[in-house]
Chains A and B, each alone.
Chain A
Amino acid sequence: MSDSTGLPTAPGPLRLTGYAALQVLLFLPGVLLLVLTLVGGLLTVATIGIPLLLAAMTGVRWIADRHRTLAAATLGHPVPSDRLPTEGMKLFRRLETWARDPMTWRELGWLLVSPILFLFSLLTCLLLVLLVTGAFWWYGTPHIMKLRASLDRAFLSTGHTERLEHRVEVLTESRAASVDHSATELRRIERDLHDGAQARLVALGMTLGMAEELFTTDPDTALRMIAEARDTTGAVLGDIRDVVRGIHPPVLADRGLTGAVEALALDMAVPVQVTTTLAARPPAPVESAAYFAIAECLANIGKHADADHGWVTLTWREGTLVAEIGDDGRGGADPDSGTGIRGVMRRLAAFDGTMRVSSPLRGPTIITLEIPCALSSPRTTPSSETA
C-alpha cells in the first residue's frame, strides 16, 4: 500500500462545499440506481433482469468510486475499493463475482443509508447559501464533511479484520502454490536426472565393458568404442549442466542478481541494456525468483516481441526490489496466455511479489516486477556451496 502522497491535505471550506454539492447532485442517481439494482436482482430469474442488473451495478460502482475519491480527498488518506478483480471475465462469471464480493453488499448498504449521509452534504451547501450562517459554515463545514467522509469510508472500504482475513486467504493460497511448485520442480529434476544423466552413465558403463572385452581380440573396435564413450561423457556433463542451470544458475551464485542479469542480456539476440542501482544482494530465494522471472520475460522478448532493443532496470526502493523489463517491440503481450508468465507470477506470489504488464499494441511492452525484501550487506563471507 502506498501512502497518501498526491492527495491534497485539508481542503478549505469552499472546496469541501464543492464536494458536498457534488454529493448532493449524486444523491438522486444513487437512489435510482439502488432501486434499479434491487428490481434487476429480483428479475434475474427472468432474462430481462440480467442486463438491467449489469447496467445498474456498473452505475452503483461508479457512484461509489466517486464518493471514495471525495472521501479520500476530505480525509487526506486513501479509501481503497478492495473489490474482487473481474477484468476480462465473461458476463455471468462477472455477475457471480459481484454477488460474492462483500464490497458489492457494502456499496448497496451504503446506498440504503445514503439519505442520512445526503443530509450532511445538503446542510453544508445550505449553510453557504444562507449567508447569515456564514460563520457557522466556515467553522462547521470541515467537521460535517469529515464526519460524512468517515461514514463513507466505513461503508465503502474494508475494515481491519476483513483485511486480515483476506491476507490469510492470500497467504494460504500462495503457500499451497509454492508447495505445489517445489514438488513439481523436484519431480522434474528427478526425471531429468533419471532419463538423462543416469541412463547415459549406464550406457557408458556398457560401452566401456564391451571395449574391455574386445581390447585384445579387436583393438580397432575397442578404440572406436572408447572414443564413443568419451563423447557420451560429454553428453552426460551437458545433461547435468542443464539440470543445474534449472535449479540454480551458476552465474547467479557467482555474481548475484546483477551479474546474472547482465549475463542473460549478453545471450540475447537483441541488444539489451542493463541498468542497476542495487547496492547489495537481496536474500537468495528472492534473488533466484527474480532471476527466473527476468529470464522468462527476456525469453519472451526474444520469442515474440520482434524488438530492436530491450532494457532491464534493477532498483531497490522503500523495501521493494523493482525490476523493469522493457522492449520496443510490437506489444500486445497478454499475461493470461502462456504458461511461462503464469509460472513467474506463482513464483513471485510466494514472496508477495507482483507483476504488472503494460503492453499496448505496437509497443512498447514494459513488465514491472516488485518483490518486497530487505537487502543484505555485500557478501564477503564464504558460502556453503560446493564447486
Chain B
Amino acid sequence: MRLVVAEDNALLRDGLIRLLEAHDFTVVAAVDNAVALGTALAEQDADGAVLDVRMPPTFTDEGLKAAIDARAQRPGFPVMVLSQYVEQLYARELLASGEGAVGYLLKDRVARVSEFVEGVRRVLAGGTVIDPEVIATIMAGRNQEPVDRLTPRERDVLALMAEGRSNTAIAAALFVTEKAVAKHTNSIFTKLDLPVAPDDNRRVRAVLAWLRI
C-alpha cells in the first residue's frame, strides 16, 4: 500500500512514517505543506493519503481542502485526515466529498497504534472512519430524526460502524456474537431505508444518513 503523508511537524511526520512503515505501508512522499501535498498527490502514484488539517502556508484548514480537492480530481481517493481537534462541520464536508474512503481522527488516536493502522486499512479499502468524539457530539444532539427509529442497541452498533469497525470488532466491543451484530446492521439498513447494495457501501450510507448529509 503506497501512501502520501502530509504533516508540518517534523517529529510527528517522522513518527507517522515509522509507524506506517512498520505496518507494511510504503510512504512514497512525506511533505510539510499544502503546496507540496498538491504536487505529491498529482505526481505520485499513491493508493491514499494521511494528512494533517492545519498546514503551512496559512495554518488554517488547507489539509482538509487539499483532501477534498484530491477527491474531486480522483473520486473515491482514500484520505485519512488527522487533526488536533475534530469538528462535526469538517466531518460532514469530508463525507460529502464522495461515498466513503475517508477517515477523520483526532491525532491522539495514533497512540492506539493497532486501531489507527486498522483505521487506515479500512479507509484504503473504501470504508469510513469517524472519530468517536464527533460521534459522541452527534449522539448527544439527536432527537426527531430517522435514526430515532433505532433501538439503543442499534444506535451503539451504528456509532461503532461510523468509527469504521468491522462486524467482528463491533461484536467484541459490545460483548455479543457476530451473528447478533449482523442482525442489528440489517435492521439498521431496513430502518434507514437503505436498499440492498454491497455491504461496505451500505455501511457508509448508514453513517452518512446519520450525519444528515
Told that A230-B111, A238-B108, A266-B88 touch, could you supply 12 new A-B pairs with CB distance under 8 A? A234-B108, A237-B107, A245-B85, A253-B59, A263-B88, A266-B92, A267-B137, A382-B56, A383-B58, A383-B59, A385-B59, A387-B8
User: Are B141 and A254 in contact, with the CB atoms below 8 A?
Assistant: no
| CB-contacts of B10-64 with A (<8 A) | 52-61
- The verdict on A233 contacting chain B, using a C-beta distance below 8 Å, is yes
| CB-contacts of A134-179 with B (<8 A) | none
| CB-contacts of A229-245 with B (<8 A) | 230, 233-234, 237-238, 241, 244-245
The tally of residues in A whose CB lies under 8 Å from a CB in B reads: 25
- The verdict on A361 contacting chain B, using a C-beta distance below 8 Å, is no
| Chain B facing A: main interface SS | loop
User: Are B9 and A387 in contact, with the CB atoms below 8 A?
Assistant: yes
- The verdict on B199 contacting chain A, using a C-beta distance below 8 Å, is no
- Complex CA gap A29/B107 in Å reads 76
User: Are B112 and A255 in contact, with the CB atoms below 8 A?
Assistant: no
Interface flags, B70-100, vs A, CB<8A=1, else 0: 0000000000000011011100100000000
- The verdict on A268 contacting chain B, using a C-beta distance below 8 Å, is yes
Given A267-B137, A269-B140, A250–B84 Cβ distance below 8 Å? yes
The minimal Cβ–Cβ distance linking A56 to chain B, given in whole angstroms, is: 56
- Complex CA gap A254/B60 in Å reads 4
User: Are A382 and B57 in contact, with the CB atoms below 8 A?
Assistant: yes
- Complex CA gap A250/B59 in Å reads 10
CB neighbours of A233 from chain B (8 A): 108, 111
The minimal Cβ–Cβ distance linking A266 to chain B, given in whole angstroms, is: 5
Closest chain B residue, CB of each to CB of A259: B89
User: Are B60 and A255 in contact, with the CB atoms below 8 A?
Assistant: yes
| Chain A facing B: main interface SS | helix
CB neighbours of B9 from chain A (8 A): 387
- Complex CA gap A387/B83 in Å reads 10
User: Are B61 and A255 in contact, with the CB atoms below 8 A?
Assistant: yes
User: Are B89 and A263 in contact, with the CB atoms below 8 A?
Assistant: yes
Q: Which of B54, B88, B106, B108 contacts A387 (CB 8 A)?
A: B54
CB neighbours of B84 from chain A (8 A): 237, 241, 250, 387
Given A233-B111, A237-B108, A267-B88, A387–B141 Cβ distance below 8 Å? no
Which 5 residue pairs are nearest across A and B when measured between Cβ atoms? Answer: A387-B54, A269-B141, A254-B60, A263-B89, A254-B61
CB neighbours of A268 from chain B (8 A): 141
The minimal Cβ–Cβ distance linking A74 to chain B, given in whole angstroms, is: 55
- Complex CA gap A245/B108 in Å reads 17
- Complex CA gap A306/B11 in Å reads 48
The minimal Cβ–Cβ distance linking B7 to chain A, given in whole angstroms, is: 9
CB neighbours of B85 from chain A (8 A): 241, 244-245, 250
User: Are B52 and A230 in contact, with the CB atoms below 8 A?
Assistant: no
Q: Please list 7 pairs of residues, one from A and one from B, whose beta carbons are closer than 8 Å in the complex, sorted by A's number.
A: A245-B85, A254-B53, A255-B61, A267-B88, A382-B58, A385-B59, A387-B52
Closest chain B residue, CB of each to CB of A229: B111
CB neighbours of B92 from chain A (8 A): 266
- Complex CA gap A57/B140 in Å reads 54
- Complex CA gap A87/B96 in Å reads 51
The minimal Cβ–Cβ distance linking B132 to chain A, given in whole angstroms, is: 11
CB neighbours of B56 from chain A (8 A): 382
- Complex CA gap A230/B57 in Å reads 32
Closest chain B residue, CB of each to CB of A238: B108
- Complex CA gap A262/B93 in Å reads 12
The minimal Cβ–Cβ distance linking A46 to chain B, given in whole angstroms, is: 62
User: Quick one: which of A238, A254, A263, A267 has the most chain B CB within 10 A?
Assistant: A254
CB neighbours of A254 from chain B (8 A): 53-54, 60-61
The minimal Cβ–Cβ distance linking A327 to chain B, given in whole angstroms, is: 15
The minimal Cβ–Cβ distance linking A233 to chain B, given in whole angstroms, is: 6
- Complex CA gap A382/B57 in Å reads 6
User: Are B112 and A230 in contact, with the CB atoms below 8 A?
Assistant: yes
Given A241-B84, A267-B141, A253–B60 Cβ distance below 8 Å? yes
- The verdict on A386 contacting chain B, using a C-beta distance below 8 Å, is yes
Q: Which of A244, A251, A269, A382 contacts B89 (CB 8 A)?
A: A251
The minimal Cβ–Cβ distance linking A295 to chain B, given in whole angstroms, is: 14
User: Are A382 and B59 in contact, with the CB atoms below 8 A?
Assistant: yes
Given A267-B141, A385-B59, A251–B87 Cβ distance below 8 Å? yes
CB neighbours of B141 from chain A (8 A): 267-269
| CB-contacts of B126-176 with A (<8 A) | 137, 140-143
Interface flags, A252-273, vs B, CB<8A=1, else 0: 0111000100110011110000
Closest chain A residue, CB of each to CB of B53: A254
The minimal Cβ–Cβ distance linking A207 to chain B, given in whole angstroms, is: 14
CB neighbours of A382 from chain B (8 A): 56-59
- Complex CA gap A296/B29 in Å reads 44
